[in-house]
Amino acid sequence: MTTALALVLALIIDALLGEPGWLWSRLPHPAVLAGRVVGWLDRMLNSGIARRLKGVLAMLILIAGAAGVGTLLASGGPVLEILCAAVLLAQKSLVQHVSAVAKALRLSLQDARMTVAMIVSRDCRDMTEAQIARSAIESAAENLSDGVVAPAFWFLIGGLPGILVYKAVNTADSMIGYRNDRYLAFGWAAARLDDVLNLIPARLTGLMIALLAGQLRQWPAIARDAHQHRSPNAGWPEAAMARALDLALAGPRSYDGQLRQLAWVNGAARKDIGASDIEGAVNILWRVWALLLGFVIAIATLLVLPIS
């Protein structure tokens, strides 16, 4: 079985079944396991001198371990490989989490604030309706890239070792890739590696969103907004999503009680948004998933066609 065909099946299984709660109530999720390894490396290495070098060493250890586990699991046959890949994709769980914010927003602001706090790290306690909706849509765009397109891309490139290395690096970036006193040096390698691994997938995600929304002519404007984003990658799907829905994203937001004046994405568009806009973003999530699936099916078909 080709890697492309395995990915087709994994994408479908993930979209149909999502996260098997019964399994993760009994076993730790792979992301949890990766997080434990990152935490251990942090405790063992993040002290004293040469912290940047120690951070590089930590990532080499993490990558070698993830690649080794991936190679071992891949040797278990195609069924195990497909199931593992499906577990490491996040289409249905992303849709569920984002949709939950729209449903909560139709009930009350307080319900919506508690629900959106489960998917974003910014301060949510005093969010307005528009801020809640904007946060959910931004999370949808960024995690479409990080949780669906990028894992699929790296599985297609490197099989289970490839997707596990990506997930391990992505987990490390979320834990130690911060620009603060503790992680500025030690987390440098994790942050830079995550940037590199998401470089192509983030732009592919933005391109697919723009294509499906008929916004390819807006690509120069999408690129301009993406380059203003604090992340070198997250701005691409967010800027494309903003134009697909004809609304403004990003802008000022609060972290740990401090207001940050971040640049607007598509700032001239409407800013008064709500639950229906979140639902529009969910619709785009499924359309991008379908386009991705069709693309992988095409690759799988080409790989099995006889060469004349």
pLDDT tens digits, one per residue of 205-260: 999 999 999 999 999 999 999 998 888 899 999 999 999 999 999 888 778 777 77
Identify the pLDDT of residue 228. 86
Q: Is the pLDDT of residue 308 over 60?
A: no
The first and second tokens of residue 246, run together, are 């004809």
How much is the average pLDDT of 261-289? Answer: 93
Identify the pLDDT of residue 267. 86
**Side chain identity at residue 43, one-letter code:** R
Least confident of 44-58, 120-134, 198-212: 120-134
pLDDT tens track for 69-79: 999 999 999 99
How much is the average pLDDT of 24-40? Answer: 86
**pLDDT above 70 coverage of the chain, percent:** 98
CA-CA-CA-CA torsion sign (216, 261, 285, 67): positive
**Domain definitions of the chain by residue range:** 3-304
Identify the pLDDT of residue 206. 97
Average pLDDT, the chain: 92
User: 307 pLDDT band (50/70/90 cuts)?
Assistant: low
Identify the pLDDT of residue 26. 76
Distance (Å, whole) CA 91 – CA 296: 15
Burial 206-238 (b: 16+ CB within 10 A, else e): bbbbbbbbebeebbeebeebbeebeebbbbbbb
How much is the average pLDDT of 172-192? Answer: 92
pTM of the model: 0.94
pLDDT tens track for 39-50: 999 999 999 899
Identify the pLDDT of residue 25. 72
